[in-house]
Each structure stands twice: as structure tokens, then as C-alpha cells.
Amino acid sequence: MRIAIDAMGGDNAPQAIVEGINLAKKNYPELEFLLFGKENEIKKYLTDEKNVTIIHTDEKINSDDEPVKSIRQKKQASMVLAAHAVKNKEADALFSAGNTGALLAAGLFVVGRIKKVERPGLMTTMPVFTGEAGAGFDFIDMGANADNKPEHLLTYGILGSFYAKKVRSIENPRVGLLNNGTEATKGSELTKAAYELLEKEESINFIGNVEARDLFNGVADVVVTDGFTGNAVLKSVEGTAMSLMTILKSSIMDSGLKGKMGALMLKDSLKGMKSTLDYSSHGGAVLFGVKAPVVKTHGSTGPEAVSHTMGQIKTMLETNLVEELQTFFDNKEA
């Protein structure tokens, strides 16, 4: 199992990425890594070269580069070379903490779509607050697409269900459709049409509509939405959580000694809450529906999360997730 790593992508690259690979080498000795980027900088942080091949390149894609253009023009960029390694079967999966749009473009145009998956979606496992350890739901599409058709949402139901079964070991994952009400008759033109398709699909356990308000109550194992709404929901959750944290901080600053002491104690719980909310603890976001695992983490991702994400990719490879998806779609009638 060889993973192509864009060592230059992310706010703290290559240090955070390489240190994450150092950790992953210990945690998953069966993995091999192809590190794309500046050799001397990578070597500065790499503990040893066991299971590692460095492919030197000076070029990289910046966070403010225009995604599709940069993929086409910066042919020697670390991310682009890593994507080509996957395309050419020199590696089995692609990882980057860099420019999200560029990684999506690299996934779509270099790694390539699975047949019959018209619009791959970005998926992540979001936490739920039911108190159950590791509980969460797979949220797809988080924003790879700005416009989706009903058929795409059906595909996301199938993709999410595969992931929940294979990677999260959920036997019969409950697939919900994000909608503006729980009744079957509710929705926009898009969600009403998607509802009908999801309901007819025999390979999944469709449980009907779910509302954004109930997402964190564990109402479903997979939640399907269009990329525009998914993006808005994700950013609303982030914005609300960040605002509440800020208010809590200022409450602590304004409170007396007793309050400060108590706040200090609570602060640990609240940090725990913050890390629960941080969906990167469940691994990276997967561009799902392309011919190999393409996984992305936050630009600010640290070594622990990079290593954790390598474990996630390992599970995706071990369970033959992508191959089985390809077989499924090959056999599916259009």
C-alpha cells in the first residue's frame, strides 16, 4: 500500500506533513510513502528513509492559486506529481493538506472519476453528540460541487453507505437526505426528486428526510446533500461553534476568581468538545467517486492528524473500497 503525499501542501508544510509521516511510519509499518516536494527540506524533518521515497520538485501550488488553472499550468507542482503517481499506478492513494480546490481538480482531472459517478462529492465523518465514542455521520457533498442534480444525490447515498460499511464497520447504515422538513412531501425540486431516487435504491437503507437541526443527535449514519447546502451547513456549524467559544472566553476573562477557576476546569471539557467538533479527528475529507482514495485535511493540520489520516487511507485500501465501488457501478443499470 503506497500513498502519494503532497509534502508541500498546508500552512506548516513540509514540517507538519513530514512529522506526521514519521508518526505514521511507526503506527502503520506496512505503509509506503512517496513524498513529493523539496528534498532538502523534507530530509530536514524526516527521521529515516525506511518505507519512504522522496521525489524532488521545486514547484508547489499555493493556497491562493486558482485551482483548475494551477493544476494545468504547474505541471511540476508536488500535488500534481503526486496525483500523476496515482494515475500511473505508482501509488494507491493521494494525500494533501494544501489548496482544496486544486486537490479536487487533481482528483477529478488527473486521478479521474469512477465510471457512472458523474460528480464525485467531498465527504467527511462529522461527530455527533450522543455520548457514544467515535459516533458520527458521513456528510456528502460538503462542497465539491456548486450545483447538483437528483442523480448525484442518489450516488452520494450509495458512496456514503459504502464508506460507512467498509471503513466505519456499520452493518446497515441509515442514509438520510438533508431537507427542510422530515415529512416525505417536503423539499425543493432537487430534494423531492432525490427522495424518490433514494427511496427506490435497493442497495441502501434510506430512512427519509433529516433536518440540519438534528444532525448532531445521531439521526443518521450517512447524510446526503448538494454541495452548496453542504458547504453552507458546514460553515454555519463552524461559525456558530467558533462564536460560542469566543463568548465563553470573554465570559471567563470577565468573571471573578472563582469563575476563572471553574472556567479553567470547564475549559478542559470545552476543549474536548472543540476537538469533538473538529471533524479532522475522524480523519480527512475524502473526494469520493474517483479511482483512488484522494484525501484532504485542513491546511493547519498537525502531525497527529496527518498520521491518523494515513490510518484512514489504510482502511480504505485494505477494504478495497474503491474497487468494490467500481464493480458496483459497473453492474448498476443506468
What cell was used for 250?
Answer: 470573554
Does residue 103 interact with a copy of itself by CB under 8 A?
no
- Are residues 36 and 79 in contact, defined by beta-carbon separation less than 8 angstroms? yes
Does residue 244 interact with a copy of itself by CB under 8 A?
yes
Reference 306, options 42, 14, 54, 55; nearest CA is: 14
Nearest distance in Å: CB 126, a copy of itself: 11
With CB under 8 A as the contact rule, the residue among 94, 111, 167, 178 that binds a copy of itself is: 178
Q: Measured from the CB atom, is 15 or 276 closer to a copy of itself?
A: 276
With CB under 8 A as the contact rule, the residue among 58, 235, 275, 330 that binds a copy of itself is: 235
Nearest distance in Å: CB 227, a copy of itself: 8
Rounded Cα gap, residues 138 and 166, in angstroms: 12
DSSP SS3 for 209: strand
With CB under 8 A as the contact rule, the residue among 27, 62, 146, 172 that binds a copy of itself is: 146
Between the CA of residue 185 and those of 229, 261, 324, what are the distances in Å?
A: 19, 51, 34
Q: Count residues binding a copy of itself (CB under 8 A).
A: 59
- Are residues 114 and 326 in contact, defined by beta-carbon separation less than 8 angstroms? yes
Nearest distance in Å: CB 183, a copy of itself: 10
Q: Measured from the CB atom, is 78 or 179 closer to a copy of itself?
A: 179
Does residue 126 interact with a copy of itself by CB under 8 A?
no
Give the single-character DSSP code of 217.
G
Rounded Cα gap, residues 305 and 303, in angstroms: 6
Does residue 228 interact with a copy of itself by CB under 8 A?
yes
Reference 233, options 220, 223, 246, 219; nearest CA is: 223
What cell was used for 225?
Answer: 446533500
Give the footprint of a copy of itself on this chain (CB under 8 A). 129, 131, 143, 146-147, 178, 180, 186-189, 191, 211-217, 225, 227-229, 231-244, 246-248, 250-252, 254-256, 258-266, 269-270, 273, 276
